[in-house]
C-alpha cells in the first residue's frame, strides 16, 4: 500500500528556514528587508579557505574517500583539539560529517523511539526537530536569564529517568550566547557519569568568544573516551556555512557506528571540501582573532542599539553570534514582536519561541552584519514599536 | 543508561568500501594493486565542471540555500528530464540531495519498521544496507543471467504482501549492466499501480548506455506524480563522484517530506557544488557522447580479455560501468575467486555475493580504467587461475 510512514508525521521545518522563505518572497516583491534571522555572517570565509577549496579541486581531490574523513583533516582536527581542549583524541575518535547530521546520528545511535533526551529550553531547534521525527522524547530543562541561561544542575537531575539516554549541552549557546564556566561543565559531566548517560556537547561556537572568555568542555573529564561527544564544525568560527563541514569527537565505538551510518546515507564529505577544513584549522590564528574583535564590536553596537529601544532589554552575550533581547517590556509576545518589526520596520528576527516555549519574551538577532545596517534596523524597530 | 540503540545493530559497511580498506593497506605496504572494485572512473570530471565549481566559490555561493536545492539547478534538472524522459516535472517535484541519501530518505518516508521493500538479487548493496539498519524487511526478487538479469513480473508479483510499500528497480543496473526495455518498465509500472505501491527507479546510470540502447523509465507512466520516484545523480554519468550531488524527481508531497528530512539532517547541498551540476547538465552533449564512446571501447576490451580466461564467461553489458562475468567455470566461489585474484594477481574485484546471495558465481569489475591496465590485469588473472 502506498502510504507515508509514521516518521513523516514527525518531520518539521526548521523555523529559521521557514522565516527565510517569507523574507525571500518579501525581497522578491521588491521590499528592503534587514536580515538578522539567519545565523550566518555577512563576512565571507577567509580567501585562503576559498583558495584551498579551489586548489583541491584543481588537484583532483574529487573522488570517493574514507567515510570518516580524509586522514590529513582528521590529523588537523586531532591537533586542533589537542591545542585547545587539553587532550589529544585518537584518530578513531574523529569522524568528519556535517554538524547537523551529527545531532541526528548521535541521537539515532544512542536512543530508541520512546527513550528520552535532555536539552535546554530555549535551545537550538535542530535538537527538537531530530528527536521529534525520530519518535524520541525531548525532555526540556528550563534555563533563565536570571541564571545566565545556564541549566541548574538540580533541574537537570530531576528530569533524568530510566528512559534517559543522552544530555545535550551547547556552549557558547544558540540562541542566548551564554557561556558555561568550568564548574558548570564539571557539574554536568558529573551528573552524566553518575547516571551513566551519553553527553553530546555542541561546541559549534567555541571560536566565537569575547571579553577574554575561555572555552570549557565536559570532554576535559573523559577525553571523549567514555560518554562525551564533541560536536564541532566550520560554519560559525570560520564563516564556512555553505561548505557543510563539521566533525564529531567521541568514544571510538560510537564514532564507528556513526561512520557506518554516514557511509550508508552519504558515502563521504566531498574531499575538496575537507581540504578547506585543513586550511582553516592550520591558518594563522591572528586572522581569526582580528575577525573576532570585529564581531565583538558589532555585538556591542547591537546590544547598545537594542537597549535604546523602549521596552527592550538586552544582556551582553559572552559568546556565539546572537543577541537575545528580552522584549517583555514592549507588551508583545515573541511572535507578535517579530511580526511587527518584520512588517512595519522590514527587520527579520527569530521569535524566541522557535527555540522552545521558554523562549517566550525574547527574540534572536544575529549581529554579524555591517555596522550601518545594525544602526538603521534598530532605529526602524524603535520607530515601529512607538 | 548509556547503551547503543537497536538501530546500530543493523548498521553494516558497504562491501565495496570494505574492500577499498583492504586494498589501501596492500598499497600502503608497497604492493601494486589493479583496482577494479570501485565504481568510479579513472577519467576526471570535465574541466568545465571543475571550473564551474571554482567560479561559484569565487562568486561567493558559499552560504545556506533552500534545502530542496537552488532554483537554477532545479530548473536545469526540469529541462534535462523534459528532454530525455518525455515529461516536464514541476519544480515542487524536484529535490537536490546526494543520491545515496535519496535511497535512505525514500525508504524512511514510505516504510515503517516491519514493512517490506522489494528489489533484485543481485542488486545495489545500499538498498540492503538502508533497509537493514532501518528494520524494514528486504524481499529479494531473484534475477538470472538467462533473463538478462531482469525481474520476471510473475516473480515480482508473487512476493508482494500487505506489508509491501515500495519496489526498487535499477536500469541500467549495478552490478550486472542490464538495461530494461520499455515493455519491462511498463510491466513493473503496471504491477506497482495494481497494488498501489511506491516505485523507486534508480536511474543513476542513464547516461551510461551503449550500442544504441535508449533509456526507459517507469516514470513515463505517471510522470512522477503518483508513485514513481526517479533517483539520479552526477557521479556516474559525469564522473563527479566526489561532488556527492544527486536529485530525486517524485510526487510533490513525498518530495516535500524528503526535503524536511534533508533540512533537519543536512540543511542543504553546498551551493557551489550545485552550480557544478548546472554546468554538467547544460554542457554540450557531444562531450559526453565522446566519453561514452571511450567507455564502450573499454567495456569491449575488458569483455574480450575476461572471456579469454578459462572458466570465465562474460556477457556484454548494455549499460552502466561494470562487467559481471560468470566465474563458475573456474570451480571457485565468488569469494574464493576474488581472494585468489587479489592475492595472486593483485587484482581487486567485488565478489558477486556482495550484491546478494544471487550474485554467487559472479564478480564485478568496473572497466573505466586505462586500456593497458585492463589488459595487464586480465593477463595476470589468467596466469593466477591456471
Beta-bridge partners for B249:
B94, B230
Q: Stretch B356-380: mean pLDDT, rounded?
A: 97
| pLDDT over threshold 80, residue B249 | yes
User: Closest to B260 (Cβ–Cβ): which among A11, A198, A257?
Assistant: A11
Span A39-47, average pLDDT: 88
pLDDT(B287) > 80: no
For residue A91, what pLDDT is reported?
Answer: 97
Least CB–CB distance from B50: residue in A58, A195, A273: A58
Nearest by CB: B261 against A11, A40, A164? A11
Residue B19 has pLDDT above 80, yes or no: no
**pLDDT at residue B21 in the model:** 76
- Are B58 and A65 in contact (CB < 8 Å)? no
Interface test with A, best of B37, B41, B42, B63 (most A CBs within 10 A): B63
What value does the mean pLDDT take over residues A274-303? Answer: 91
pLDDT at B36 (0 to 100): 95
- For an interface test with B, give the residue of A5, A22, A136 to mutate (most B CBs within 10 A): A5
Which region among A248-252, B13-17, B269-273, B313-317 has the lowest average model confidence (pLDDT)?
Answer: B13-17
**pLDDT 10s digits, B62-89:** 999 999 999 999 999 999 999 999 999 9
pLDDT for A287: 75
Nearest residue of A to residue B112, measured between CA atoms: A5
Q: Is the pLDDT of residue B41 over 90?
A: no
Angstrom distance (rounded) from CA B64 to CA A102: 18
The Cα angle at residue A340 between residues A336 and A341, in degrees rounded to 5: 120
- Name B29's Cβ contacts closer than 8 Å, sequence gap at least 6: none
Instruction: Report the candidate in B268, B197, B206 with the shortest Cα–Cα distance to residue B233.
Output: B206
User: Taking CB atoms and an 8 Å limit, are A242 and B98 in contact across chains?
Assistant: no
Q: Is the pTM of this model over 0.90?
A: yes
pLDDT at A266: 92
ipTM, 2 dp: 0.94
pLDDT (mean) for A355-372: 97
- Give the best residue of B197, B267, B268, B366 to mutate against chain A (max A CB count within 10 A): B267
pLDDT of residue A41: 84
Residues of A in contact with B130 (CB under 8 A): 264-265
Shortest alpha-carbon distance between residue A45 and chain B (Å): 8
Q: Give contacts of B16 with chain A, Cβ < 8 Å.
A: none
- Domains of chain A from N-terminus onward: 6-45+286-384 (3.90.1150.10), 47-282 (3.40.640.10)
Q: What is the pLDDT of residue A17?
A: 67
Average pLDDT over residues B213-238: 96
Nearest CA in chain B to A259: B13
CA distance A371 to B66: 27
B60 touches chain A (CB under 8 A): yes
Mean of all residue pLDDT scores within chain A: 95
Cα–Cα distances in angstroms (integers) from residue A73 to residues A63, A245, A262, A269, B372, in the given order: 16, 11, 17, 11, 34
% of chain A at pLDDT higher than 90: 89
Strand B228-233 versus strand B164-170 pairing type? unpaired
Segment (H or E) for B209: none
The pLDDT of A110-136, averaged and rounded, is: 96
Where do we find the cell 582580528?
A290
Give the span between the Cα atoms of B222 and B225, in whole angstroms.
6
Which residue on chain A is closest to B4 by alpha carbon?
A110
Question: When comparing pLDDT for A105 and B284, which is higher?
Answer: A105
Confidence at A315, pLDDT banded by 50, 70, 90: very high
Q: What is the pLDDT of residues B98-130, one digit of tens each?
A: 999 999 999 999 999 999 999 999 999 999 999
Average pLDDT estimate for A293-314:
97
Instruction: Mark yes or no for CB contact B57/A67 under 8 Å.
Output: no
pLDDT at A13: 82
What pLDDT, in 10s, does the model give residues A6-16? 999 999 887 76
Q: Count of A–B CB contacts within 8 Å?
A: 199
The chain-wide mean pLDDT, for chain B, equals: 95
Min Cα–Cα distance to chain A from B90, Å: 19
* Residues pairing with A198 in the sheet: A166
**3-state SS of B134-195?**
HCCEEEEEECCHHHCCCCCHHHHHHCCCCCEEEEEEECCCCCCCCCCCHHHHHHHHHHHHHC
Q: Give the pLDDT band (50/70/90) at residue A284.
A: confident
Q: Do A165 and B45 touch (CB under 8 A)?
A: no
What's the CA gap between A277 and A274, in Å, rounded?
A: 5
Q: pLDDT value at position B120?
A: 98
Chain B residues in contact with A265 by the CB 8 A cut-off are 98, 100-101, 104, 130, 265
Put simply, whether A125 touches B (Cβ < 8 Å) is no
Q: Angle B107-A230-A86 (CA atoms, 0-180°, nearest 5)?
A: 160
Q: Which of B21, B57, B69 to mutate to test the interface with A (most CBs of A within 10 A)?
A: B57
Separation in Å, CA of A64 to nearest CA in chain B: 5
The answer to whether the CB of A80 falls within 8 A of the CB of A289 is no
Contact status of B62 with chain A (Cβ, < 8 Å): yes
- Asked whether the beta carbons of residue B112 and residue A40 sit closer than 8 angstroms, the reply is no
Any B CB within 8 A of A267 CB: yes
Q: Cα separation of A347 and B213, whole Å?
A: 56
Q: Looking at residues B35-39, what average pLDDT do you find? A: 90
More confident position, A291 or B146: B146
Q: What is the pLDDT of residue B284?
A: 76
pLDDT tens digits along A216-268: 999 999 999 999 999 999 999 899 999 999 999 999 999 999 999 999 999 99
Greatest Cα pair distance in chain B: 60
Amino acid at each position: 500500500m502506498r502510504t507515508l510512514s509514521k516518521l513523516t508525521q514527525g518531520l518539521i521545518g526548521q523555523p529559521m528556514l521557514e522565516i527565510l522563505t517569507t523574507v525571500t518572497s518579501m525581497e522578491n516583491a521588491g521590499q528592503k528587508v534587514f536580515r538578522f534571522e539567519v545565523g550566518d555572517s555577512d563576512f565571507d570565509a577567509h580567501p585562503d579557505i576559498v583558495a584551498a577549496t579551489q586548489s583541491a579541486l584543481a588537484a583532483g581531490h574529487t573522488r570517493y574517500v574514507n567515510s570518516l574523513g580524509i586522514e590529513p583533516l582528521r590529523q588537523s582536527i586531532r591537533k586542533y583539539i589537542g591545542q585547545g581542549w587539553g587532550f589529544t583524541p585518537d584518530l578513531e575518535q574523529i569522524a568528519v560529517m556535517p554538524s547537523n547530521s551529527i545531532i541526528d546520528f548521535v541521537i539515532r545511535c544512542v536512543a530508541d523511539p520512546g527513550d528520552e533526551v535532555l536539552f535546554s529550553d530555549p535551545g537550538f531547534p535542530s535538537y527538537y526537530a531530530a528527536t521529534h521525527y525520530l519518535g524520541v522524547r525531548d525532555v526540556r530543562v528550563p534555563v533563565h536569564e536570571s541564571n545566565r541561561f545556564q541549566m541548574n544542575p538540580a533541574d537537570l537531575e530531576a528530569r533524568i529517568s530510566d528512559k534517559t539516554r543522552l544530555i545535550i549541552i551547547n556552549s557558547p549557546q544558540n540562541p542566548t550566547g551564554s557561556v558555561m564556566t568550568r564548574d558548570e561543565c564539571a557539574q554536568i559531566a558529573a551528573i552524566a557519569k553518575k547516571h551513566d548517560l551519553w553527553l553530546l556537547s555542541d561546541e559549534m561556537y567555541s571560536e566565537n568568544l569575547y571579553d577574554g572568555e575561555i572555552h570549557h568542555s565536559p570532554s576535559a573529564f573523559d577525553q571523549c573516551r567514555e560518554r562525551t561527544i564533541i560536536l564541532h564544525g566550520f560554519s560559525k568560527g570560520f564563516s564556512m556555512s555553505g561548505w557543510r563541514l563539521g566533525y564529531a569527537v567521541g568514544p571510538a565505538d560510537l564514532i564507528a557506528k556513526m561512520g557506518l551510518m554516514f557511509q550508508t546515507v552519504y558515502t563521504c564529505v566531498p574531499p575538496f571540501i575537507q581540504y578547506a577544513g585543513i586550511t582553516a584549522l592550520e591558518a594563522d590564528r591572528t586572522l581569526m582573532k582580528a575577525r573576532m574583535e570585529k564581531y565583538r564590536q558589532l555585538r556591542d553596537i547591537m546590544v547598545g542599539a537594542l537597549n535604546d529601544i523602549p521596552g527592550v532589554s538586552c544582556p551582553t552575550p559572552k559568546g556565539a553570534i546572537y543577541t537575545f533581547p528580552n522584549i517583555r517590556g514592549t507588551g508583545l509576545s515573541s511572535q507578535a514582536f517579530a511580526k511587527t518589526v518584520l512588517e512595519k520596520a522590514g527587520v527579520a528576527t527569530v521569535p524566541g519561541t522557535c527555540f522552545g516555549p521558554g523562549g517566550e519574551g525574547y527574540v534572536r538577532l544575529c549581529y554579524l552584519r555591517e555596522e550601518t545596517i545594525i544602526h538603521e534596523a534598530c532605529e526602524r524597530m524603535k520607530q515601529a514599536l512607538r
